[in-house]
Amino acid sequence: MPSTQKALLLEKKFGDFLIKETEIYKPGPGEILIKIQATSLNPVDWKIQKYGIFVEEFPAVIGCDIAGDVEELGEGVIGFKKGDRVFVQGQFNYSRFSSFQQYCVAIAATVAKLPDNWSYEQVSALPGVLTCAYVALYNKSPFGLGFEPPVSEATKGKYAGTPIVILGGASSVGQIAIQLAKLSGFSPILTTASLKHTEHLKSIGATEVFDRNLPSSALITAIKKATGSQPVKHVFDTVSSAKTEQDGLDILASGGQIILVLPLAVPAPEDKKVTTVSGFLRDPNNVELLESLYRDHITAWLEQGVIKPNSIEILPRGLAGIPEGLARLQKDQVSGFKLVAHPQET
């Protein structure tokens, strides 16, 4: 193994990205060193650069979706060996745990094995959005909607007959949320999206897909028809724009809960509960739930095909292609798929 690697560094707050040589990390107790074969891009990555959020120590490596090979085990790590194919959500506010580089470390308790029926590239699109959707649906209230995870025969399909609305079904988080909702048995599963995504979203579990541009009044009418006027008590807004937040609040019945991916930007009535999800892997409120997901369940769900990662597009030039990909995300030029880079091709 070499002693140095190539990394895409954000040199300073609001600064430019530059590729430089850095030392390869040494895994500590309970950690795994991973040779990164694929990493996917997320909107938060360009927001860190543009708005100066989350990261305070520079130069910094960011990026949080990782698929690769076990390179070295830290003290006390069991259940893994060198060469295992794995995936994990990184931590973009700590360079050693981030993905825009050729090697990173990860906490072994939340590293999952990558099944043979999926590629590095495909599964690199999964960790961050899976964490966000899983926490939103299954973490205890007020941190999530508080449903029981579908991790046993007793809880799979448990919510049959309970409607759920997922705003932004074609978003990366939305697609995973739809699949999890299907596994939990929610019915109907109602979502909004550009109608060009209708066939795909129905294939992964959506019952009905409504045009995301419908006026709120028309959307409410359509949802009432789809639910047989059963009140909607649960809404997951995976976009969290001013429009989707207002739509979600209008759809939500009194006493219901809406969960957002960004802070609320519109007034909320007192009889409706509003929560913003924390998609951070090591958030103390998330750790127990997510360690169980990654250690015990997600590999089998991928093998069985009950959870499928989002479609992807491969960026050229390894780490050097990432800034151009982030610019596309910022310009809202990516819909229904994720951008993926190969750090080892740099």
Whose CA is closest to 56, among 94, 110, 86? 94
- Examine the domain organization and report whether 144 and 93 are in the same domain: no
Residues 151 and 218 in one domain: yes
**287 belongs to a structural domain:** no
Interval 100-115: pLDDT, tens: 999 999 999 999 999 9
Same domain, 138 and 257: yes
The number of folded domains in the chain is 2
What is the tens place of the pLDDT at every residue in 305-320? 999 999 999 999 999 9
56-85 residue pLDDT tens: 999 999 999 999 999 999 999 999 999 999
Residue 135 shares a structural domain with residue 259: yes
Pair (340, 232) in one structural domain: no
Residue type, 325: G
pLDDT at 289 over 90: yes
Residues 104 and 84 in one domain: yes
The reply to whether 271 falls in a domain is yes
Same domain, 336 and 322: yes
Same domain, 135 and 49: no
Of 68, 3, 7, 71, the closest CA to residue 33 belongs to 71
Residue among 304, 42, 37 nearest 173 (CA): 42
Peptide bond into 343 cis (omega under 30): no
Q: Which two tokens stand for residue 346?
A: 């740099």
Domain presence at residue 301: no
Helix or strand (DSSP H, E) at 222: helix 216-227
Separation of alpha carbons 93 and 56, rounded Å: 8
290 in any annotated domain: no
The pTM of this model reads 0.96
- 119 and 144 in a single domain? The answer is no
Question: Which residues are bridge partners to 112 per DSSP?
Answer: 87
| pLDDT tens figures, 113-125 | 999 999 999 999 9
User: Which of 232, 257, 276 represents a domain boundary (last residue)?
Assistant: 276
Q: Report which residue type is found at 189.
A: I
Statement to judge: residues 114 and 137 lie in one domain: no
pLDDT of residue 76: 98
Q: By residue range, what is the domain housing residue 156?
A: 130-276
**Does residue 162 form part of some domain?**
yes
Q: Look at residue 167 and tell me if it is in a domain.
A: yes
- Report the pLDDT value the prediction gives residue 85, as an integer from 0 to 100: 99
Question: Which tens digits make up the pLDDT trace of 218-242?
Answer: 999 999 999 998 999 999 999 999 9
Question: Which residues does 269 contact at the CB level (< 8 Å), separation at least 6?
Answer: 249
Residues 272 and 142 in one domain: yes
Residue 292 in domain: no
CATH code, domain with 57:
3.90.180.10
* Residue count (the chain): 346
**Distance of alpha carbon 346 from alpha carbon 338, whole angstroms:** 20
Measured from the Cβ of residue 320, the count of other Cβ atoms closer than 10 Å reads 16
Mean of all residue pLDDT scores within the chain:
97
Q: Which CATH number characterizes residue 221's domain?
A: 3.40.50.720
Are residues 137 and 251 located together in one domain of the fold? yes
Evaluate the CA torsion angle 69, 73, 76, 80 in order and state its sign: positive
For residue 336, what pLDDT is reported?
86
Query: What CA–CA distances, in Å, run from 326 to 12, 50, 170, 333, 339?
Result: 17, 11, 19, 10, 9
340 pLDDT exceeds 90?
yes
What's the average model confidence in pLDDT over 26-32? 98
- For residue 95, tell me if it sits in a domain: yes
